[in-house]
Structure 1
Amino acid sequence: MATLRMPWCPSSRRFLAQGACQSIEDAWTLAVTLARQSNASIAERLLEYERRRQPRTTRVQAGARAIVKMAHEADPERVRVRNGRWKGMARIDPLAETSWAFVWGHDERLAAQQAPDEVVGIANAREGKRMQRPESQRAFNIWKNTFTPEDVARGHDGMREAYDRMLLSHFPVPRDVSMEKVELHGVQALRVDAAEASTDSPVVLHFHGGAYVLGSARSSLEYAHRLSAAAGGACYTVDYRLAPEHPYPAAVDDALDAYRGLLATGVPSRQVFLSGESSGGGLALALAIAIRSAGLPAPAGVFAVCPFTDLTLSDPTVQARSGDDPAAHRDSLCLLGASYFQGHEPTDPLVSPLYGDLRGLPPLFLAVAQGEVLQSDATRLADKARAGGVDTTLRVVEDSVHVFTLFPFLPEARRTLAEFADWSRERIGCAPQSLTPA
């Protein structure tokens, strides 16, 4: 009799109270998989059982470890941070339905009848999701493999390290890049010059993504270098303070100080373009509103890629598209977004620009991937801006990923940056010197 190798032993991976529930799910799925009428061998059926269960149990265990870590914080400062996050989650997810529906709302009887490719793993994307092109699948896989189970189990500390690791390992800065550490009105930033710039070239003030919790100026340098090359001028990527240690309004305050500091260096506002991707795109838009409210000279425009503009996560498509997008999904956006606004109102326009009065803002260039979770954040904001008379350009790209411009090998990334280059040069000198509230 042949010896069968058990490919994966779920009972050895149980963690805390979820162990009993997961064991029941395991037993049901194992029984259904073995009993199903099929020509598959026992070994093949056990491998199918592994495909069905391992992604889910890995996700549950990592999440359970993260919650236990969060609940048992002892350091007073980390307790303050944790409680602030929970206050924020109580505003947009009071019954934890978003955060833990994948556990409490799961029915393994139904799941066992679905294809194994429908299983949602630790990246919150269905295991069988495939893109149309090899290059977009490559980008999808990079996002999908950003966080290991150990990263997730360590909470935002582990996720922060993993996010920078992903960007720095996949997109290192070319050795010949001219980079300088600068301080803009007390805010740290990195200046990148990709080309000889004339005195009237666009200057980019960039804000990295990461849902206000992850990311850094250092890990955004490669993208900042390409922004600089596209604009033909310097790009300043800003190290604004991150949540949950520094909740709202820390990021907006830093962004506004960085803008003031850039103007103080002698760069005319009419040459400055605010830029950001994901939460950085939302921050760039919030900064444009703050600049208008403060009566400061207006920038020439805002370039926001896949911007996070509605931290209430109230649009139905956010839930409907979770599982398609490994970079941005409702579960993680709820946790990270709440870590930022905490006890503050999430519909404040400086938190969620979608709820602001957009009239009188500088020209906007918005880009987003078709079908991603934050598509509606970009399209709804574009509609509202146009209704308010704002010069608005919107690009929706097909078969791509969240923040596709981060991936230099994607044709749509090169095409969008080329469009930004033309768009920004056309608008040099066209923006008014100051904006006043409508």
Structure 2
Amino acid sequence: MSESDSDKMVDKKARVELAIARIQNVYGAWRRDTSVEKMRQDWDQLFWNDSQPSDYRDDKIDGVSVRWISAPNTRRDRVLLYFHGGGYKMGSVVSHHDLMVRISAASDCQVLGVNYRMCPEHPFPAPVEDAVTVYRALLNKGFAADQLAVAGDSAGGGLAAASLLALRNESLPTPAAAVLISAWLDMTLSGESYESRAKSDPIHQRFMLDALASQYLGKDGDRKNPLASPLFGSLSGLPPILLQIGDRETGLDDTLSFAKVAAEQGVKVECSVWDDMIHVFQQFAEELDDAREAITQIGEFLQRQWALKD
């Protein structure tokens, strides 16, 4: 490794550590009695960024709160439904605004951010119901299924995958493609990476995800229900899927296992593991070159899949 490459690696690691510190400052301020409302406010403030030009408006589609987002000069006939992360408990179109704008620009499309209902007020299957409601409404508005796509990160990545299964269950036409970012795909938390990556992942630990799964499904809920854990569903017939994951993540095996099973069942899969990256590193596009490169990869993937349908 040259001295220049070594300097770049040191700078990269320093930038990742700064991103981690931002997250841990928020997590560290929470206590047992911190309200869900406070957590949600803090989460939105942590990630809110409107530095990228865009047109956006908030709306409701069949009772579901959404945000239409378009980067300048992007196509309006293609729509990416985006489901934010946050453990089915936090997150919104506010926390994920910057990421959605950047994906809109990279993908040359509108992004429709979905503020699906969340627990503890609205546990499973409310988010899946909202996802299907919005997708069905877009079809009814005249958008062609092959000009639609779905994406999400973390819990939202799991929801994006679950929505594909739900759409197939209801015999609705599936979208052209899906993008799953650091997706939570296995609520049984069975992957070896939950142990092997425990020391390297500064954000997600098994005990925290176990508690979130219990809140989402209920104490006696079925953690292998495919609409909660898509890894355990039949994946045949799904559209092409791009999966992105950081190598430091405890949920690494969720992505690797899902990609393997999907490919074995005939799904076209692209799986990208990013060295030294943390959970949903794409949200730190201001700081991280890898985040910007990952978003470019998402845009190229989506445009390639849509072009095949033209």
TM-score, normalised via structure 2 length: 0.90
Give, in whole Å, the separation in 2 of the partners of 1:281 and 1:381: 12
Q: Is the 8 A contact 1:204 1:227 kept in 2?
A: no
Match of 1:209 in 2: 85
Give, in whole Å, the separation in 1 of the partners of 2:233 and 2:144: 26
Match of 1:242 in 2: 118
Give, in whole Å, the separation in 2 of the partners of 1:422 and 1:167: 24
Task: Structure 1: give runs of 5+ residues left out of the alignment.
Answer: 1-129, 433-438
Q: How does 1:286-297 map to 2 (within 5 A)?
A: 286-297=162-173
Q: Is the 8 A contact 1:279 1:307 kept in 2?
A: yes
Q: Cα distance 1:131–1:383, how it changes in 2: closer, same or farther (>3 A)? A: farther
Match of 2:236 in 1: 359
Give, in whole Å, the separation in 1 of the partners of 2:295 and 2:30: 35
Give, in whole Å, the separation in 2 of the partners of 1:365 and 1:178: 26
Q: Aligned residue pairs: how many?
A: 299
Cα offset, 1:199, TM superposition: 5.5
Q: Cα distance 1:149–1:141, how it changes in 2: closer, same or farther (>3 A)? A: closer
Match of 1:141 in 2: 21
Cα offset, 1:188, TM superposition: 1.0
Deviations 1:92-125 (A, max 9, x none): xxxxxxxxxxxxxxxxxxxxxxxxxxxxxxxxxx
Match of 1:120 in 2: none
Q: Is the 8 A contact 1:298 1:431 kept in 2?
A: no
Match of 2:304 in 1: 426
Q: Is the 8 A contact 2:30 2:39 kept in 1?
A: no
Cα offset, 1:431, TM superposition: 6.0
Q: Cα distance 1:429–1:291, how it changes in 2: closer, same or farther (>3 A)? A: farther
Is 1:371 aligned to 2:251, yes or no? no
Give, in whole Å, the separation in 1 of the partners of 2:139 and 2:50: 27
Give, in whole Å, the separation in 2 of the partners of 1:263 and 1:327: 37
Q: Is the 8 A contact 2:53 2:71 kept in 1?
A: no
Q: Report the structure, 1 or 2, having the larger strand content.
A: 2
Match of 1:161 in 2: 41
Deviations 1:376-430 (A, max 9, x none): 1100000000000100000000011100111112111111111121111111154
Q: Is the 8 A contact 1:131 1:399 kept in 2?
A: no
Give, in whole Å, the separation in 1 of the partners of 2:68 and 2:240: 24
Match of 1:182 in 2: 59
Is 1:191 aligned to 2:71, yes or no? no
Is 1:413 aligned to 2:288, yes or no? no
| Higher Rg of the two aligned structures | 1
SS of the residue aligned with 1:145? helix
Give, in whole Å, the separation in 2 of the partners of 1:205 and 1:144: 29
Q: Is the 8 A contact 2:74 2:105 kept in 1?
A: no
Match of 2:142 in 1: 266
Among candidates 298, 302, 314, match of residue 190 of structure 2: 314
Task: Structure 2: give runs of 5+ residues left out of the alignment.
Answer: 1-9
SS of the residue aligned with 2:27? coil
Match of 2:5 in 1: none
Q: Percent identity?
A: 31
Is 1:256 aligned to 2:136, yes or no? no
Q: Cα distance 1:175–1:419, how it changes in 2: closer, same or farther (>3 A)? A: closer
Among candidates 224, 231, 248, match of residue 100 of structure 2: 224
Give, in whole Å, the separation in 1 of the partners of 2:207 and 2:159: 21
Q: Is the 8 A contact 2:131 2:163 kept in 1?
A: yes
Give the aligned residue type for 1:402.
Answer: H
Give, in whole Å, the separation in 1 of the partners of 2:236 and 2:259: 12
Provide the aligned C-alpha RMSD in A.
2.0
Is 1:332 aligned to 2:222, yes or no? no
SS of the residue aligned with 1:312? coil
Q: Cα distance 1:211–1:235, how it changes in 2: closer, same or farther (>3 A)? A: same
Q: Cα distance 1:199–1:215, how it changes in 2: closer, same or farther (>3 A)? A: closer
Give the aligned residue type for 1:184.
Answer: I
Cα offset, 1:175, TM superposition: 7.6
Match of 1:14 in 2: none
Q: Is the 8 A contact 1:369 1:398 kept in 2?
A: yes
TM-score, normalised via structure 1 length: 0.65
Q: Is the 8 A contact 1:194 1:225 kept in 2?
A: yes
Give the aligned residue type for 1:427.
Answer: Q
Is 1:392 aligned to 2:269, yes or no? yes
Deviations 1:227-257 (A, max 9, x none): 1111111111000000111110000000110
Give, in whole Å, the separation in 2 of the partners of 1:198 and 1:236: 13
Q: Cα distance 1:259–1:303, how it changes in 2: closer, same or farther (>3 A)? A: same
SS of the residue aligned with 1:206? strand
Cα offset, 1:185, TM superposition: 2.5
Give, in whole Å, the separation in 1 of the partners of 2:193 and 2:138: 38
Give the aligned residue type for 1:338.
Answer: S
Give the aligned residue type for 1:425.
Answer: Q
